[in-house]
Amino acid sequence: MPQRSYCPTCGAEIRWTVTEARKRLAVDAEPHPDGNTAVSRDGRGTWLSRRPTEELPLAAYEKLHKPHVATCKGRQDKAELTRCLGVIRLDDHRRGRGVPGR
Per-residue pLDDT at 102 exceeds 50: no
Q: How much is the pTM?
A: 0.69
Phi, psi of 16 (to 5 degrees): -85, 130
Phi, psi of 76 (to 5 degrees): -70, -30
Give the residue, 66 or 94, on which the prediction is more confident.
66
User: Which helix (DSSP H) or strand (DSSP E) does residue 81 occupy?
Assistant: helix 78-85
Mean pLDDT across the stretch 32-48?
Answer: 92
Strand ranges in the chain using DSSP code E only, listed in sequence order: 5-6, 13-18, 24-28, 37-41, 47-50, 63-65
